[in-house]
Amino acid sequence: MADIEEQKPLIKDEPADEIPIPAAAAPSRPRAPLVPRWARLLLKLSLLLWGFVALRRSVKTNVDAILEAHQAQWLAEAFSDSPAMAWGHPHRRRKVLFGKKAEQKFLTVPNAESAIAASRQYATKPHMAGTPGDFETAKDFLKLLQTELGISPPSDLPIYSAGTHESRNATLSITKLKAPTAWIDTYYPVMNTPLDHSLEILDDDGNAVWTASLEEVADETDPEAGKYYDAVTTWHGLSKGGSAKGRLVYANYGRKEDYDELVAKGRFNDLDRKRSNGSFTASGIDLNGTIVLTRYGGIFRGLKVKGAQEHGAVACLIYSDPRDDGTVTSDNGYAPYPHGPARNPNSVQRGSTQFLSIYPGDPTTPGYPSYENSTRTSGTNIPSIPSLPLSWANAQVLLEEIKEGGKNRTISLVNNVDDRVIPIWNTMGVIPGHIKDEVVVVGNHRDAWVMGASDPSSGTASIHEVIRGLGELLRNGWTPLRTIVIASWDAEEYGLIGSTEWGEDFAEWIDEHVVAYFNLDSSVSGSRFRALATPSLAHFVRGIAEEIEHPTKPGKTLWDATKDTGVLTGDHIDEEALAVYEASEVEAAADSTGVGLLGSGSDFTVFVQRTGVASNNIGFQSTLQDPVYHYHSVFDSERWMEMYGDPGFGRHVAIAKHLGLQVVRLSDSIVLPINTTHHAYQLEQYLNKVESIASSTSLDVDFSGLRSAIRSLQKASAALDHEKTKAEKKLRKLLRRLALRHLVRRNIRRHLCRLKKLLGKECAHRPSDDETDLASATEHAEKTQFECASMASSGRSGLLPFKPHIGRAAARAREHRERWASKDPFSRKRFKKAAKRVRAVNQKLKAFERGFIHEDGIKDREWYRNLDVAPGKWLGYGATTFPALTESFTIEKNATMAQYEAKRLQKLIEKLAHKIKV
């Protein structure tokens, strides 16, 4: 107890000798975090992802910029046998235009003001083939090429006679050129010019009771037409000279079916005629010794004469009928030109009467070029009876003679011509590309029957703008991947002579090198856009048309203009003319894409029908509601074009953009945009059409082997599609990886340079990005890797790389360099391998159209060698698919021949399937 008492607390006033023990604090509850852990984790992941995306976008942007600057050079290095070409335009910049950037730059150039100026340059004076005016336009075009392509004009004009060393070398050396060049080739075809002509109605005593005024009549309302109305007389090119007398027989359009109808009605001596639906028909007419009167339309004019000749007629007259002008006629209240949009009744359609579906070109040199000293034949594709073109004003008088109750007096015709060798001039220009042996050709004919504001000068004005656009690209550092040849053909109007003679002259060179041909004839004669092409280019042509703006309707495309029509409507229209027009529209859109087929009638013929080159032709054409286009007349004038044909020249510019974009895109494409699979599937549609024709006859033909061959080709083409996708993807992947490597290397150089500066050292000069091609890029990469390896081997990581120059150190350095270089995935060898794979694909794509060419050609017209498509034997312009096989039913009506043609086509397609097989 005592002890307890001693432990009692001290009194308050006594000092405390000890610190009291603190009481234990009560436990506190932890505070919950403001942001849950899962949310913080999500935020970190989001930031990480955002950073990754931002970095990737930044890298992609930089890589895209490097690709834009360098891929043309890298592709050039990959595809070329030698380092990238060093030539360039005098104003070439370091940065190289290529791909989309080049296309966008091109599209800024064509404009209406320049196109109008070009049209006025070419279309305000006569320039018929072989005349002094034509020669002046050849030199004008040469000057355009020299100016825009940066060609220094030589002291002497580069005008070469075809067949000479200079002429041959100019074309054959195209694949060796290092700089743009241009020249004129002179060929020497046999053509004719008019001497004198007349047309009269004679009475029973042989006296003239009516004499036609055959020349066109014009006044100063249209200044050029008024000045040149009689500069080129009205006659048919390559027509037979001579005179004829006979009774008149009307043969409607002069088609095969029109002549067959006349013959089928019997051969009577009386001239019973009746009028039906505004057209004259004949029943029971013996055509022997008669003069046939036909109207333009339906088929090529030369075949109208051919039909008359084969049925015994002694001459043929062809006139322009207002019924074929649709609604734009005086019956519907429209005034005739030059005071309105309807037909001038005095207008006359000149033109060639060559038998175009037999063979084109110089009639006296079929299948070989017309040199000055060439051996000549008599020519089998020209008429043996005379003919004349007539105006509606003259035709009305003749129709009165043969209508019911008419006098039907004797007609006297004179057509004296001068047949002789006449020089013509093809003007040629070349833009060399990096791929030497792949060539894109673009052409337009230059000659006109008189002034030809539409045909062909609208095309010449459009190609003028294309050349200006290409020149602007060259001045901005562009070099096409493939070589481009620009041709201004001559004497197309006489029968495709300039292009055909060049094609025959250089057939082997074309076969070896030309990958595509783009044609332009009249770029504008009306409101409807029409594209024709070999099926393998149909999607390519349509796709570009869908990218070009409509020339007159905002918000629409050029392709939308395929449905456009004129706005000049009326209640009166000829039913037969409407049926003929609608049939031609259906035929023109035979391909499932809406792109029509190529028959003949323009300069693509020798490329498609003779060699087998993927080709196309574009332009705005006239409809039945458009102002009347005075085809091959003096009224195809600049005034008509600016007032009615294309006010403002928006259509001229749209065609220039489309054509130029085709040239730039195809010349710069890695894999040729040739769609063999679409073409292969179209073949099955062609066969279905033949089977339908066969079913309407009594001929029994087995098509199973042909159909099996077509399906084998489809399968081979599908495999080729897969291969071309993989080949291009591989090369593009290497390009992208090289660009990424380029970016990394550049950043490494910058950091090394900063490090050197920190250590007081100067940075060695390195070529800029714009000076680096694939070879130098690889060399720089190897050098950078060597420096890094040297630092690592010296044990001085982070310090300046040592650069040994003598002894074993130099040998070790070389070993390091070789070791790192061997590991470089962007070596030239790897690129060359990828490029070789692409080249192999492109060779197969180029070979596809060649696969339809048969050396024996088509029966009775062996010049035409394409068994896939050709101008119909009785069409001239229009295309017939599987022509030899089809015509064995429709014309020959021979089962044995049909089976032979089916087998011949089958073997050709089987051979093609094997050739493109991957």
**What is the pLDDT, as a whole number, of residue 797?**
36
Mean pLDDT of the region 546-566: 97
Residue 721 has pLDDT above 80, yes or no: yes
817 pLDDT band, cuts 50/70/90, is very low
**What is the pLDDT, as a whole number, of residue 90?**
37
Question: pLDDT, tens digit, for every residue of 213-256?
Answer: 999 999 999 999 999 999 999 999 999 999 999 999 999 999 99
Residue 715 has pLDDT above 60, yes or no: yes
771 pLDDT band, cuts 50/70/90, is very low
Helix, strand, coil in percent for the chain, rounding step 5: 45, 15, 40
Give the range among 291-300, 561-570, 788-797 with minimum mean pLDDT: 788-797
List helix spans (H) across 330-450: 392-402
795 pLDDT band, cuts 50/70/90, is very low
Mean pLDDT of the region 717-743: 91
Which residues 6+ apart lie within 8 Å of 283 measured at CB?
A: 265, 266, 268, 272, 273, 274
DSSP per residue, 731-744: HHHHHHHHHHHHHH
Domains and CATH numbers, the chain: 108-189+422-669 (3.40.630.10), 193-271+283-421 (3.50.30.30), 679-731+833-916 (1.20.930.40)
Mean pLDDT of the region 190-212: 97
Mean pLDDT of the region 757-780: 54
Closest among 241, 240, 249 to 398, alpha carbons compared: 249
Phi-psi region of 797 (alpha: psi -120 to 50; beta: other; left: phi over 0): beta
Residue 285 to residue 250: CA distance in whole angstroms? 10
User: Are the C-beta atoms of 871 and 600 separated by less than 8 Å?
Assistant: yes
Residue 49 has pLDDT above 80, yes or no: no
**What is the pLDDT, as a whole number, of residue 65?**
75
281 pLDDT band, cuts 50/70/90, is very low
Give the range among 11-25, 484-498, 677-691, 826-840 with minimum mean pLDDT: 11-25
Mean pLDDT of the region 178-195: 97
**What is the pLDDT, as a whole number, of residue 484?**
98
Residue 58 to residue 54: CA distance in whole angstroms? 6
User: Are the C-beta atoms of 348 and 233 separated by less than 8 Å?
Assistant: no
Give the range among 40-49, 361-370, 451-460 with minimum mean pLDDT: 40-49
CA separation, residue 362 to residues 132, 190, 356, 367, 500 (Å): 20, 6, 11, 9, 8
Residue 529 to residue 545: CA distance in whole angstroms? 9
The top-scoring range by mean pLDDT among 591-595, 744-748, 826-830 is: 591-595
User: Are the C-beta atoms of 127 and 141 separated by less than 8 Å?
Assistant: no
Residue 23 has pLDDT above 80, yes or no: no
Host H or E run for residue 844: helix 828-850
Which residues 6+ apart lie within 8 Å of 743 measured at CB?
A: 59, 62, 63, 66
Question: pLDDT, tens digit, for every residue of 614-664?
Answer: 999 999 999 999 999 999 999 999 999 999 999 999 999 999 999 999 999
CA separation, residue 70 to residues 474, 478, 771, 774 (Å): 16, 12, 9, 8
Helix (H, G, I), strand (E, B) or coil at 4: helix
Mean pLDDT of the region 13-25: 53
Residue 326 has pLDDT above 90, yes or no: yes
**What is the pLDDT, as a whole number, of residue 79?**
84
190 pLDDT band, cuts 50/70/90, is very high
User: Are the C-beta atoms of 628 and 865 separated by less than 8 Å?
Assistant: no
Give the range among 139-148, 360-369, 390-399, 587-596 with minimum mean pLDDT: 587-596
Question: pLDDT, tens digit, for every residue of 654-695?
Answer: 999 999 999 999 999 999 999 999 999 999 999 999 999 999
Q: What is the DSSP letter of 253?
A: T
Mean pLDDT of the chain: 87
Give the type of residue at 717.
S
Q: What is the DSSP letter of 563?
A: G
Q: Say whether the peptide bond before residue 456 is cis (omega within 30 degrees of 0).
A: yes
Q: What is the DSSP letter of 557?
A: B
* Sign, Cα dihedral of 54, 56, 59, 63: negative
Residue 135 to residue 239: CA distance in whole angstroms? 23
Question: pLDDT, tens digit, for every residue of 154-174?
Answer: 999 999 999 999 999 999 999
Residue 773 to residue 372: CA distance in whole angstroms? 48
Residue 205 has pLDDT above 90, yes or no: yes
**What is the pLDDT, as a whole number, of residue 853?**
98
